Chains A and B, each alone.
Chain A
């Protein structure tokens, strides 16, 4: 049905261009209109004179004016318009082909043909569970609209936002809860984390400050330390990252689910001799997944995985629209590798290379990453 409408629209547009070939045009030359106009004008002068709008002794001279103009038009010395055998026979069909081609090309770039209509009623009917969650969110939001000073409500809402992929709203909710309920290390860490998600994985200075404060207040808390390590890594300071993460690993409980992943992460740092706590298992295991920033955080709360996938999808959509973002591509390839979706990762590598074909250093960096992640071949 969708494609039928696309076809109908395209067809009618092409038809509108081809119309003059289907129905031979009958146009009026300038001369014919002018003659008619001035004749009408002369008649009108009589009408105006009868109404007293033109003085009686002026009627003749005004008429003479119009008649002069009439005579000037009656000898059109213009070349008669061409019909058959002209350039139009080729230009018109060419345009009828070019216009839809242009439209399809442009729509391909900016449209989302796979996205169906999503009327609210239908969405409500389709997913009652999600609907319940959303209804709960809406209820809390309505409550907050009336009682904007209820910090507890913000605290409940924030992680839900995060799991729904609405990271920037999560940031706002956490900052409200910080303001209303006061700073605790956990709250600061959660706030920072939301900021990182909202910034597509980048640790900005605000987030970093939150982690530093949290870490200073409660040094045993793992989350801020992990992100501080990530911040160091993003700054290119691999040594600090290794130091922070190694210390974290050394203190980690033996059964901490994130410890193994973090070890791999440390191993992947540049010049990565394995850290003190790393065991043989990691060394021998497949070097599949460095870059596990998000996944570690996902471990304690499984819902987080949804949020991460949402983020990755958004990144992919953005890159599909604008492929000139090298860092974006690198992040996407890494993310797919993390999610163990090596087919998609490979596809992203080739997409990235196609988009950035003109940029040799970019190609080099993409290849290097693909090698590093074992995505070749």
Chain B
């Protein structure tokens, strides 16, 4: 009963989305208030219906209703409850359902929190959001229906891919989708602005908080995914330049550019074309990512549910939405009014450079991702573009970005003073140089690592240079300093934190150069030294989990004869799928980590072990958390709330992930 009503709710959501695609846009075109007013209530209802459908599918997974093909293929009655729930989106059909759920969540959030928007803009935004929703609901119902039923249900399911049976699955996809799909709202805003023909500060003001929300979630989602890959794939890496990772990195780069660009457009009415273009680009890259992952053109760790017949459908959606918006863009771009003027050396100018660098980064990633696919399609040769390509192309673009970041922060709007700005970041520059020299003298090590850590320190200090100078300016009176510090706009504070977070991540990346790696065969009682630590394999034993058996290598980590940590790296076997996965043992010591993964337990009681010492590695993810925190600070700035008459309302509130 619940299952079938959920199925019906999904169909009803499609019907409602179709209505919502037409009426509000028609109303906005003809100036009919009633038609426009359908959009908010319908958007909320669509979210409610898809939410109910999602609940129904979750229910079916939780109670192991094997009359659903989706449950049979991806669940198992012995699976722990958390994986029964997260397994809902650990497969193609369910993850598409989560996709439209997040899409409708953003639609509903705009309906609820954007009361101060001009009615016709809001009607068009929600209509465009419904176009996307209709297309994907149709895709789900026609090609990937999670509610497909079986007349003769089996008594047991096929279980979930073991790589996905991890707490990471509970958090990573919902977060990533909040970011990925959240960019749909910037796309809808851009399309709506193009349709209404008013591309101005109002548009920029309303689109910024949504971009920020999506960007925060995307940042956290990518970081989470990278940590997950780090501890489950068992070879100690955290970023593989895998096409699926690139698919999430490209929208992030575009969204970062958009975030900066929209600020210029809002404050100074400049860079309009860029802003609209980036808003379209960001979501187009999300769609491209969805296509790459969902169509099965790639075969990678993420391609857990691929079906080539679906590819064509998504490709059609992709072409329609990207092509349609670009056509609209071409049609309207000519008629844009000239915005505020600015000198080349100014905050605006710095943001233009930021945009150029970020979009070029994005383009290199795009090339690196699509080139192998195109080559395979044309010639049949299978090549893999990996870390060397990206290190060669990506790094030369990112290094100037890091160098310019603190300088840009110190430039004034409209007309800046480069020498003044350079003087202001001199302290930061000095800190970076001193740090690099100190590290070189103390640790030595690879030159790249030394230089990059210097750069990272420069970025971290430089991010706060401007704020510090203002807060501590001339007067040393404690009272003034405190009141000044409290008076700093949260947006400025957010910027500083986000930039510093990037520096922290860079420091973590730079430190990989001082890491150590050993691959060896170990027997219980064996000892090995790595970094400053000594590892002893205490015992090897097998253990039964709920739906797997594992061989655990209890390892004791000690330094100077004292036990620092006990870790239990394991290799697990899942009989239902006849697959194994490793579960790395990680001991976080300070900011560094000892990482052990074991494999292939042999007859003679020995295992092959990969052992890493990774100094400061935790900073990579801590940096991402700081970036997201900065985004949150910025989002809470009062300037994002716009008071119209007495109906002051919050423009944006961080939407809660549903279910």
Binding site for B on A (CB under 8 A): 1-2, 5-6, 9-10, 12-13, 15-17, 19-21, 25, 27-30, 32-34, 36-38, 40-41, 44, 47-48, 51-55, 58, 61-62, 65, 69, 78-83, 86-89, 91-92, 95, 98-100, 102-103, 106-107, 110-113, 115-121, 123, 131, 134, 137-138, 141-142, 145-146, 164-166, 310, 313-314, 317
Contact = CB atoms under 8 A, between A and B. Distances in A.
B1 A58 contact: no
Interface in B152-190: 152-156
B151 A314 contact: yes
B203 to A, nearest CB: 10
B120 interface: yes
Contact of B643 (A29, A36, A41, A119): A36
A64 to B, nearest CB: 10
B340 interface: yes
Interface stretch (B14-22, B355-363, B393-401, B515-523): B14-22
A13 B22 CA distance: 16
B205 interface: yes
A99 B16 contact: yes
B534 to A, nearest CB: 39
26 contacts: A5-B5, A6-B5, A16-B41, A17-B42, A19-B37, A20-B34, A25-B33, A27-B33, A27-B122, A29-B119, A32-B644, A33-B642, A34-B200, A40-B643, A54-B412, A58-B414, A62-B414, A69-B200, A86-B32, A88-B32, A91-B26, A99-B16, A100-B12, A110-B7, A115-B151, A118-B65
Given A51-B492, A117-B65, A16 B42 contact: yes
Given A29-B119, A115-B149, A88 B34 contact: yes
B332 interface: no
B417 to A, nearest CB: 8
Contact of B31 (A52, A79, A100, A107): A79
B530 interface: no
A69 B268 CA distance: 11
Contact of B202 (A37, A100, A314): A37
A116 B412 CA distance: 66
B636 interface: no
Contacts of A29: 118-119
B63 A121 contact: yes
B16 A81 contact: no
Interface string B91-130: 0000000000000000000000001111111100000000
B83 to A, nearest CB: 16
B11 A103 contact: yes
Contacts of B120: 30
Given A40-B639, A117-B65, A27 B32 contact: no
Interface of B: 1-5, 7-9, 11-12, 14-16, 18-19, 22-23, 26-27, 30-38, 41-42, 44-45, 48-49, 52, 60, 63-67, 77, 115-122, 141, 145, 147, 149, 151-156, 198, 200-202, 205, 267-269, 340, 347, 412-415, 417, 470, 488-489, 492, 575-576, 578, 639, 642-645
Nearest to B52: A9
Contacts of A41: 201, 267
Nearest to B201: A37
Given A103-B14, A106-B141, A123 B153 contact: yes
Contact of A28 (B3, B119, B413, B414): B119
A137 B489 CA distance: 68
Given A117-B2, A118-B66, A32 B201 contact: no
A2 B5 contact: yes
Given A28-B117, A33-B642, A98-B19, A53 B412 contact: yes
- Most chain B CB within 10 A, of A12, A40, A103, A131, is at A103
Contacts of A15: 45
B141 A110 contact: yes
A19 B41 contact: yes
Q: Which 6 A-B pairs have the closest CB atoms?
A: A27-B119, A88-B34, A25-B37, A16-B45, A20-B37, A119-B63
Contacts of A88: 27, 32-35
Given A58-B414, A100-B12, A82 B202 contact: no
- Most chain B CB within 10 A, of A32, A314, A317, is at A32
A103 B8 contact: yes
Given A47-B489, A95-B23, A166-B154, A9 B414 contact: no
A164 B152 contact: yes
B640 to A, nearest CB: 10
A197 to B, nearest CB: 13
A33 B412 contact: no
B9 to A, nearest CB: 5
Nearest to A99: B15
A111 B38 contact: no
Contacts of A83: 33-34
Contacts of B31: 78-82
Given A53-B347, A54-B413, A81-B31, 11 more contacts: A19-B37, A28-B117, A30-B120, A40-B639, A62-B268, A65-B269, A69-B201, A81-B32, A87-B30, A107-B8, A117-B2
A111 B5 CA distance: 10
Given A13-B49, A86-B34, A165 B152 contact: yes
Given A25-B34, A58-B415, A314-B151, A1 B340 contact: no
Contact of B151 (A12, A30, A123, A313): A313
Given A55-B414, A115-B4, A117-B60, A17 B151 contact: no
A106 B642 contact: no
- Most chain A CB within 10 A, of B15, B205, B414, is at B15
Nearest to B9: A9
A80 B14 CA distance: 32
Contact of A111 (B11, B205, B470): B11
Given A2-B5, A103-B12, A91 B35 contact: yes
A99 B415 contact: no
A277 to B, nearest CB: 39
A82 B32 contact: yes
